């Protein structure tokens, strides 16, 4: 492909609204163009990389035995109502709006396809003889992201591979565990082939639901998620899932008496700890929620945050929302900022483990403008439920005792053991050998194709531009002709281009009448793995230069030797 016959638009300046490297470089290299917040056009160079990712994903899904189909982006809201996910997804679920009760008012744009595929399963799969089966698609998804940002890392419209498996059992041949492992292994192959330095971690299932899940993460400062792992790599999880070792009881058995103190206008942890001269870790934070329609109180240390994903799992609830001021005042008889566990009754309270070993703590008194000091769990209030319900923080240890480290990361894939969540809700059942009916056992498996492209750039770039993994580079080789008016230069360039293309490589021939510096900068910016420089001076010496983008190493070779060397470099 000649540069002059293709469409490539590069830019020298970094766009002011682009913050993370992948966004900056995708714009500068002419891979994408924003149409509206959260939605991008993939320009020809970007589309070539995206299609290569898509091909790898498709090959590995087929290899794992999954069957491709294609489902619509528009869904009847009735299916989402059957599973209760209209409320669970909230504003993420994009709805069409029409007049009255016309079709638009009962239609949503799919952020995922569990409901649609389960409807198909209940229609067509009715015997154990048809299971297990795994369906997948590569299709556009829509999500109501309130603040799309970081280029294609967080958008409202994106390309996703989603797969759904159906089984008769959890364990044993053909069971969910076996199918889950097959998908897990396929994901490892996909991310390895795409050149990503990924880490597989335990994860929370979130609004998708299910019994177990893993995320595949790429470490980068551009990420919005956090990877929590031990220093020796023996444990890894995302922040929502990360479990911590119990905090030790440091009490000396000489607890102070309970005391009411005046704290007028002081409602936050920072304000109260400063006023009373105590550390935030000596305070009990009382957070009031509405969980599945009923009040729920979570207690954590003042220097900790409630992990709502953990809290939902422990409480076994589907929905969890912050309580409004009216409910808080009704429960505590105080304004917001003065809630505490002492004296509260007839409401469910779940305490974090670290709270259970606190002594002489400070907390709200359930009286406006007042707090309590000398608060001791067990003596001053009863703890009926306790669990790990907080975010891990630096200084914590994993349950195996190893120190935890924290790294920002990008999620590129997620696998879930759904169990019977959707099949029970939607009546997707099969008949066993004896004619008895059972709900199908399901798994689901997602990959963000756009995120793979961005994550590859985040993981491998420098000050000059992108450094593509060869497998997903828009072009694997670029031939730079330095003296385009010289017949021999163009002849040798043409021959190298044609020979490499006939060997199965994607080759871009920079035949522009531009200065060498411009060509080299553009080649580095768009990140082509191997550059061949053909110039009048080099040919006079009987050589062309072969430069690898990753390490900048230059090899001077006779033109007839270049093909074999490039094939070796890209093998």
Q: What percent of the chain has pLDDT over 90?
A: 88
Hey, what are 244's tokens? 């911590």
Band of the pLDDT at 205, cuts 50, 70, 90? low
Contact (Cβ atoms closer than 8 angstroms) between residue 486 and residue 50: no
- What pLDDT, on the 0 to 100 scale, is given for residue 251? 78
Judge if 371 and 268 occupy the same domain.
yes
Residues 39, 278: Cα–Cα separation, whole Å: 48
CATH of the domain at 437: 3.30.930.10
Rounded Cα distance between 135 and 65, Å, is 9
64 lies in the same domain as 198: yes
Residue 100 has pLDDT above 80, yes or no: no
Looking at the structure of the chain, the number of domains it has is: 3
Among candidates 500, 499, 497, which has minimal Cα distance to 510?
A: 497
Mind listing the pLDDT tens digit for each residue in 473-488? 999 999 999 999 999 9
Q: Which CATH number is 528's domain given?
A: 3.40.50.800
Same domain, 382 and 410: no
The DSSP element (H or E) to which 219 belongs, if any, is: strand 212-219
366 lies in the same domain as 494: no
Bridge partners, 416 (sequence order):
213, 444
208-220: pLDDT as tens digits? 455 678 999 999 9
Last residue of a domain, one of 358, 387, 416: 387
The reported pLDDT for the residue numbered 128 is 97
pLDDT at 39 over 60: yes
What is the per-residue pLDDT across 540-571, written as a single tens digit (0 to 9) for each? 999 999 999 999 999 999 999 999 999 999 98
Average pLDDT over residues 41-55: 98
Structural domain of residue 169, as residue ranges? 3-243+406-457
Tell me whether residue 465 is in a domain.
no
In a domain, 464, yes or no: no
Question: In this structure, are 238 and 273 located in the same domain?
Answer: no
Distance between CA 43 and CA 27 in Å, rounded?
10
**pLDDT above 70 (res 34):** yes
| Pairing status of strand 404-419 against strand 225-230 | antiparallel
227 & 138 share domain: yes
- Pairing mode of beta strands 74-76, 157-167: unpaired
Q: Once rounded to an integer, what is the mean pLDDT over residues 314-325?
A: 92
Same domain as 213, residue 147: yes
Residue 331's SS3 state is helix
Average confidence (pLDDT) over 280-284: 97
Residue 466 lies in a domain: no
Q: Enter the pTM of the model.
A: 0.87
In whole numbers, what is the pLDDT of the chain averaged over residues?
94
Does the residue 249 lie in any domain? no
- 209 and 346 together in one domain: no
**What phi and psi, each to the nearest 5 degrees, are found at residue 565?**
-65, -40
Residue 394 covered by a domain: no
Asked if residue 399 is part of any domain, the answer here is no
CATH number at residue 383: 3.90.960.10
Residues 168 and 234 in one domain: yes
In a domain, 357, yes or no: yes
pLDDT at position 206 is 57
CA dihedral 369, 391, 331, 375 (to 10 degrees): -50
Q: Identify the pLDDT of residue 435.
A: 96
Beta strand 507-510 with 477-481 is parallel
79 located within any domain: yes
Contact 508, 528 (CB under 8 A): yes
Same domain? For 196 and 71 the reply is yes
> Quick one: 222 and 89 in the same domain?
yes
Residues 138 and 76 grouped into a single domain: yes
Q: What are phi and psi of 288, to 5 degrees?
A: -105, 130
């Amino acid at each position: 492909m000649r540069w002059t016959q293709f469409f490539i638009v590069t830019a020298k300046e970094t766009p002011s609204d682009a913050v993370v490297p992948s966004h900056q470089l995708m714009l500068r290299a002419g891979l994408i163009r924003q149409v509206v917040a959260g939605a991008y056009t993939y320009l020809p160079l970007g589309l070539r990389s995206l299609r290569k990712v898509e091909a790898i994903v498709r090959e590995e899904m087929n290899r794992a035995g999954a069957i491709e189909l294609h489902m619509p982006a528009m869904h009847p809201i009735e299916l989402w109502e059957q599973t209760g996910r209209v409320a669970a997804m909230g504003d993420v679920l994009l709805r069409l709006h029409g007049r009255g009760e016309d079709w638009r008012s009962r239609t949503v744009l799919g952020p995922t396809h569990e409901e649609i595929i389960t409807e198909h399963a209940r229609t067509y799969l009715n015997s154990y003889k048809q299971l297990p089966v795994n369906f997948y698609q590569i299709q556009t998804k829509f999500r109501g992201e309130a603040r799309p940002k970081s280029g294609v890392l967080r958008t409202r419209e994106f390309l996703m591979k989603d797969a759904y498996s159906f089984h008769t059992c959890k364990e044993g041949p053909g069971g969910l565990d076996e199918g889950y492992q097959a998908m897990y292994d396929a994901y490892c192959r996909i991310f390895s082939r795409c050149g990503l330095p990924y880490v597989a971690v335990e994860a929370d299932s979130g609004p998708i639901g299910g019994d177990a899940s893993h995320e595949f993460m790429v470490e980068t400062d551009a990420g919005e998620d956090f990877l929590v792992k031990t220093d020796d790599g023996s444990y890894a999880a995302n922040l929502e899932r990360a479990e911590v070792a119990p905090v030790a009881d440091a009490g000396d058995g000489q607890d102070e008496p309970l005391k009411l103190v005046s704290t007028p206008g002081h409602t936050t942890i920072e304000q109260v700890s400063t006023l009373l001269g105590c550390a935030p870790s000596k305070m009990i934070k009382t957070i009031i929620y509405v969980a599945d329609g009923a009040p729920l109180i979570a207690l954590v240390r003042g220097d900790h945050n409630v992990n709502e994903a953990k809290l939902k799992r422990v409480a076994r609830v589907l929905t969890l929302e912050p309580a409004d001021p009216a409910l808080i005042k009704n429960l505590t008889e105080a304004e917001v900022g003065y809630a505490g566990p002492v004296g509260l009754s007839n409401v469910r309270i779940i305490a974090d483990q670290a709270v259970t070993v606190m002594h002489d703590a400070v907390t709200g008194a359930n009286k406006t403008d007042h707090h309590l000091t000398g608060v001791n769990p067990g003596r001053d209030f009863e703890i009926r439920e306790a669990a790990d319900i907080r975010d891990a923080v630096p200084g914590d240890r994993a349950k195996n005792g190893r120190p935890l480290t924290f790294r920002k990361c990008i999620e590129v894939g997620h696998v879930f053991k759904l169990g019977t969540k959707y099949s029970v809700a939607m009546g997707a059942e099969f008949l066993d050998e004896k004619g008895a009916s059972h709900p199908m056992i399901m798994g689901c498996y997602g990959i963000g194709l756009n995120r793979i492209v961005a994550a590859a750039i985040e993981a491998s770039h420098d000050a000059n531009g992108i450094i593509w993994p060869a497998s997903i580079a828009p072009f694997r080789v670029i031939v730079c002709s330095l003296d385009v008016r010289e017949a021999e230069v163009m002849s040798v360039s043409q021959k190298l281009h044609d020979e490499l293309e006939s060997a199965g490589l994607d080759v871009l021939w920079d035949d522009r009448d531009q200065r060498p510096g411009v060509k080299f900068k553009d080649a580095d910016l768009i990140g082509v793995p191997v550059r061949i420089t053909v110039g009048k001076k080099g040919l006079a010496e009987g050589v062309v230069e072969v430069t690898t983008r990753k390490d900048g190493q230059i090899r001077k070779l006779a033109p007839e030797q270049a093909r074999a060397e490039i094939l070796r470099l890209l093998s």
